[in-house]
Amino acid sequence: MGQAVHTQDAPQAIGPYSQAVISGGMVYTSGQIPLDPVSGAVVDGGIREQTAQALDNLKAVLAAAGSGLNHVVKTTCFLTDMNHFQEFNAVYANYFPGKPARSCVAVRQLPKGVLVEVEAIVEVSAER
């Protein structure tokens, strides 16, 4: 199966899954939603604040896996409303200046009623 990744710096899994798994030199993350890692609550604010928190959570999981955002190969992004696409992109661009491959899809609903979820496929850092 690979090596499960766990960190207290990102929200704990709310189901029977790992925050990420390392396998074959790659990190496969579970979707990260905008939960505060300490309280477990959805962060206050709209799509901008929720996007930033989801990406901060992703960054924390990748750090625990010995990698980082600069090693992301592909993301899959889920939005509950494509009217948020421009605001989502404005925040996302600050985290990924290298522009990894990406899919962004609209979904009907996400866990805990959040507006955004992001998962990634990432190379394990050479520094690991």
The dihedral region occupied by 30, where left means phi > 0, alpha psi between -120 and 50, and beta the remainder, is: beta
C-alpha span between 55 and 103 (Å, rounded): 15
Given the residues 43, 104, 110, 121, the one annotated as active site:
104
Catalytic-residue membership of 77: no
C-alpha span between 95 and 66 (Å, rounded): 17
DSSP conformational letter for 5 = E
What residues act catalytically? Answer: 104
